[in-house]
Amino acid sequence: MFSSYQKEAAFALQAVGEAARLCQKIQQEMVLKALSKEDRSPVTVADFASQAVIAHMLQEQFPDEPLVGEEASHSLQLPEQADKRKAVEKYVRQVFPQASGGDVLAWIDTGAGEPADRFWTLDPIDGTKGFLRGQQYAVALALIEKGEVVVGALGMPNLNTKMEEDPDGDGSLVIAVRGEGSWVVEAGGSDFARMQVTSRVDPATVRVLRSYESGHTNVSQIDIFIEKMGITHEPVRMDSQAKFAVLAAGRGELILRLISPSRPDYHEKIWDQAAGSIVIEEAGGKVTDLTGRKLDFTRGSELLGNTGVLVSNSALHEAALAALKAVGADQRPS
């Protein structure tokens, strides 16, 4: 299917697919059937299990390549976390039956790698609140070479290939390779469809994709921005990098990550943006920070050279940047 990065793309699809299936099982068994959504333990179990599975798969196929992941096992090793640790081990053994408890902890900690000329970055569950609500979340994995994302994969258990919410379905997988497009396939399937952003610029038809979580952005400034752009369509609310896939498939035009006034010094983590950014770009869209700068993946685990994130269908990008500047959203709160 791809003329470059064939092995890497195949691995990324396999890895996020395996982890997404496992997370779906944990969500069904621990969130939807058993526990109240105020209990965060299910998402913690899923986070650790997802990272352990993908890290071990990476060790087997690309043993010399670092993984920069979100999780570390130290909290899981505390005596009071024994039940959670056992749950993580139980779910990991559904993928790797011979895994010992020590294996699982070691695999999780493989994600403590340092960025290098070539490395992988992983968000084992992007969208923890969506996971706990039984709604949208994503497993996000990307390969970065010399500061450029060259492969990105998203596993979305509760979205179908039309990017519609489908919690009872098998979910979808998205894969993007630099220069070779973004593609979506049903989890477990083989019928790939190319993804393409819209060319919409009419404010009456433009759709903004927004997070449910107000702590991730500046809600009032987004409202002012929407008014400035003349957008009248009701925002589409969704957690995680699933929003990137939805926009890449032509079901939205804009995504904003503004700087929250309560966290003026916050910088985006690379695992929250890497996979989604290449999916957008390879579908014809554009990703920059709020000032128009390209996202800089060369400065460690955070986007230290950037201020927030703007994602668009390309056609709207310059107008959106101008509106952000006009409402002061391109600057960090003082």
The pLDDT-based confidence of 37 (bands split at 50, 70, 90) is very low
* pLDDT one-digit tens code per residue, 275-298: 999 999 999 999 999 999 999 999
Q: SS3 of 126, please?
A: strand
pLDDT of residue 31: 79
pLDDT of residue 215: 58
Its pTM stands at 0.96
Higher pLDDT, 212 or 123: 123
Is the domain defined by 6-194 classed in CATH 3.40.50.970? no
pLDDT of residue 34: 46
Domain ranges of the chain: 6-194, 208-326
- Mean pLDDT of all residues in 287-312: 97
Query: What integer best gives the mean pLDDT of the chain?
Result: 94
Look at residue 39 and tell me whether its pLDDT is greater than 70: no
Percent share of the chain, pLDDT over 70? 96
**Are 206 and 180 spatial neighbours (Cβ–Cβ below 8 Å)?**
no
**Are 55 and 67 spatial neighbours (Cβ–Cβ below 8 Å)?**
yes
Is 232 among the catalytic positions?
no
Is 161 among the catalytic positions?
no
pLDDT of residue 217: 63
Look at residue 43 and tell me whether its pLDDT is greater than 90: no
Task: Kindly tell me the sign of the dihedral angle through the C-alpha atoms of 19, 67, 142, 13.
Answer: negative
Residue 172: strand pairing partners: 156, 186
List the CATH code of the domain at 208-326.
3.40.190.80
SS3 percent helix, strand, coil of the chain, rounded to 5, is 35, 20, 45
* pLDDT one-digit tens code per residue, 79-122: 999 999 999 999 999 999 999 999 999 999 999 999 999 999 99
Look at residue 38 and tell me whether its pLDDT is greater than 60: no
Task: Kindly tell me the sign of the dihedral angle through the C-alpha atoms of 297, 302, 307, 312.
Answer: positive
| Greatest distance between any 2 Cα atoms in the chain | 58
- Check residue 113 and report its DSSP letter: P
Pairing status of strand 254-257 against strand 67-69: unpaired
**Are 50 and 19 spatial neighbours (Cβ–Cβ below 8 Å)?**
yes
pLDDT of residue 163: 96
Active-site choice (128, 161, 288, 307): 128
By C-alpha distance, which of 113, 285, 85 is closest to 195?
A: 285
Look at residue 205 and tell me whether its pLDDT is greater than 90: yes
* pLDDT one-digit tens code per residue, 219-235: 789 999 999 999 999 99
Active-site choice (44, 47, 198, 289): 47
- Check residue 58 and report its DSSP letter: H
- Residue carrying structure tokens 């099982």: 25
* pLDDT one-digit tens code per residue, 47-69: 999 999 999 999 999 999 999 99
